[in-house]
Structure 1
Amino acid sequence: MNEDEFARYVELYNSGNYRDVVDSYYHENVRIDIYGVNFTRGASDTLHWLQNTHVGLIEIMIVDGLRVSANGRDIYARVRETLVALEAVKRLASGPLAPGQVRTTSFAAHYVVADGKFTHVTLELPRSPLPQVDRPNVVSRSARDRRAAPVVTPIIGYDDERVIHSPDQWIIGPQPERSYPN
């Protein structure tokens, strides 16, 4: 995979069409690990997780930095994920969101590629201290309809009281147990 193909993946991911995302970019045996916790195994589990996670939620992925290995098998990305809650959402790795709330989280992503599809995706906290920012937001109708990017309030400074600096606060409550067939 090269930079242009990865850009097409990000564009499709941001469209919210997760069936096409999984069919086009995820290997049938893909594994996704977030902050050291395995979230999915297999394309069908990944599709189910993506669809369920994004109910009542708009996600926009922005790639701030990208490095692709010469053979295209390893992709390293510095990513910002902006989540806009259209309703109360409690099932996120970064914690719950209230209706209208916007959260931007930065992370380091590593994608392992085989035959043009991701076989393993790992999301970790970035190596440099970038805060996760939560702020209230008024969601426009166009954002709700996914026809335009969400209207976002001005960026909050690092010292703002709403900035969550501690990763301990990002994942709250126990993660659900998952069993996978062999």
Structure 2
Amino acid sequence: MDRATYEDYLVRHNAGDFAAVAERHFHPEIEIEVAGRCVARGRAAALAWLTAAAANVTSTLYAYDHEFDPNGLEAWADLYEWAECHRGGDSLFAGRMRAGEIRITPLRAHYITRGDRLGCMVLDLADGTIEIDRPGTEFAPLPSAAERPTPDLQRPRERAQADVDDGAQLLPARPAPAHHRQ
């Protein structure tokens, strides 16, 4: 996988053109793993998983750091999923959401190719979930760092792990009304 192929994948994903994503980028025997759980095995299952999630939640991916194996066999990316729930349903990566809820979820991804297509995608949560409030939305507590699964990604270089304050991961989009600040 090279940068241009990865950018094409992101553009098609963000446009909701999952049929083209599956046809152009997924190997027929692709495996997709999210947070340590296999969510799809095979191109048809991957397309069904993406399509089912998109029925209730709009998912937009923003990659801000990526590395590509010089031989095109692997790629690593740090990205965010912006998920906006239209009806109650599951985000691709952040789980169950309520109508009107928006989440920004930091992700770490490892892509392995088979031939010229993605044969395996391993995505894991990176440092928790940031939720943006909408009127009437109540936040569910996040799992602590100890409760989240440990990512099992082989990175080409080590990254420093910053201390994470689990109590400071939820950010409201606007200040809370005065009657809530007691």
Give the structure 2 partner of residue 166 of structure 1.
Answer: 144
Give the structure 1 partner of residue 19 of structure 2.
Answer: 19
Q: Relative to structure 1, is the Cα distance of residues 90 and 10 closer, same or farther in structure 2, using a 3 angstrom cutoff?
A: closer
**Distance of 1:56 and 1:96 partners within structure 2:** 11
Partner SS, residue 11 of structure 1: helix
1:68 aligns with 2:71: no
* C-alpha deviation, 1:125, in angstroms: 2.9
Q: Is the 8 A contact 1:135 1:162 kept in 2?
A: no
| Structural mapping, 1:100-179, within 5 Å | 100-126=100-126, 130-137=127-134, 164=142, 166=144, 168=147
* C-alpha deviation, 1:163, in angstroms: 7.5
Give the structure 2 partner of residue 2 of structure 1.
Answer: 2
Percent same amino acid among aligned pairs? Answer: 19
Give the structure 2 partner of residue 99 of structure 1.
Answer: 99
**Distance of 2:148 and 2:110 partners within structure 1:** 23
**Distance of 1:95 and 1:36 partners within structure 2:** 13
**Distance of 2:91 and 2:10 partners within structure 1:** 22
Letter in 2 for 1:98: R
Q: Which 5+ residue runs of structure 2 have no aligned equivalent?
A: 150-182
Letter in 1 for 2:142: I
**Distance of 1:8 and 1:90 partners within structure 2:** 25
Q: Is the 8 A contact 2:57 2:90 kept in 1?
A: no
Letter in 1 for 2:102: V
The count of corresponding residues between Structure 1 and Structure 2 is 145
Q: Is the 8 A contact 1:75 1:110 kept in 2?
A: yes
In the superposition, the TM-score normalised over structure 2's length comes to 0.72
Q: Is the 8 A contact 1:133 1:163 kept in 2?
A: no
* C-alpha deviation, 1:56, in angstroms: 1.7
Q: Which 5+ residue runs of structure 1 have no aligned equivalent?
A: 139-160, 171-182
**Distance of 2:60 and 2:11 partners within structure 1:** 9
* C-alpha deviation, 1:22, in angstroms: 0.3
**Distance of 1:12 and 1:25 partners within structure 2:** 10
Partner SS, residue 96 of structure 2: coil
Q: Is the 8 A contact 1:134 1:163 kept in 2?
A: no
Give the structure 1 partner of residue 81 of structure 2.
Answer: 81
Deviations 1:129-148 (A, max 9, x none): x331112248xxxxxxxxxx
* C-alpha deviation, 1:162, in angstroms: 7.3
**Distance of 1:84 and 1:93 partners within structure 2:** 12
Q: Is the 8 A contact 2:27 2:118 kept in 1?
A: yes
